[in-house]
């Protein structure tokens, strides 16, 4: 089995995301006609292969571009780390949208270089990112296309998925 090298050059990934925008939307339509369970099996295998060779702590792009949702239990832990009340934490660090709370700052206030300074206490949404291990990949393609431009895991997974499914570029 041929081992593929993963692309991790951020400027190249951003450039290719622009160049391949139309191709990626065609790929999204192409995937909509595929067997969801089969695609999930391929995606989960690719996820396992790719995440073994890409260290997220050398990137931090998700922390620069996303506002994770935070649950009250997570807010209480983070507030404790800041030595403030949960109410003060919400006032200082969060924004509300549709009844949900999100960390407000971009980049994330806990990003230190490319690493999370509260890694062991990071919100669940951060722990689960980039969600390529979740079921129903086909139903989440729009989000994957958004992440394609800044997450090396998503970028490499999508490119390898195109090859495996023999998508005509």
- In angstroms, the CA 59 to CA 161 distance is 22
Query: Sign of the C-alpha dihedral, residues 35, 37, 40, 42?
Result: negative
pLDDT score, position 156: 98
- In angstroms, the CA 45 to CA 124 distance is 22
Note the residue count of the chain: 169
Confidence at 52, pLDDT banded by 50, 70, 90 = very high
Residue 2 has pLDDT above 60, yes or no: no
pLDDT score, position 3: 57
pLDDT score, position 4: 75
Tokens for 129, please give them. 């990112």
Tokens for 66, please give them. 């996303």
Measure the N-to-C terminal CA separation of the chain; round to a whole number of Å: 23
Asked whether 116 and 63 are in contact (CB, 8 A), the reply is yes
């Amino acid at each position: 089995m041929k081992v593929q090298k993963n692309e991790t050059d951020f400027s190249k990934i951003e450039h290719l995301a622009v160049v391949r925008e139309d191709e990626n939307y065609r790929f999204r339509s192409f995937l909509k006609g595929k067997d969801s369970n089969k695609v999930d099996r391929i995606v989960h295998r690719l996820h396992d292969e790719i995440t073994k060779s890409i260290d997220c702590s050398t990137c931090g792009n998700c922390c620069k571009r996303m506002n994770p949702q935070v649950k009250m239990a997570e807010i209480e832990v983070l507030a404790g780390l800041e030595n403030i009340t949960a109410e003060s934490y919400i006032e200082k660090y969060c924004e509300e949208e549709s009844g949900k709370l999100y960390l407000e700052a971009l980049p994330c206030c806990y990003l230190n270089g490319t690493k999370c300074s509260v890694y062991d206490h990071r919100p669940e949404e951060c722990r689960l990112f980039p969600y390529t291990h979740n079921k129903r990949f086909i139903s989440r393609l729009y989000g994957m296309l958004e992440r394609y431009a800044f997450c090396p895991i998503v970028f490499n997974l999508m490119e390898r998925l195109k090859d495996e499914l023999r998508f005509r570029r």
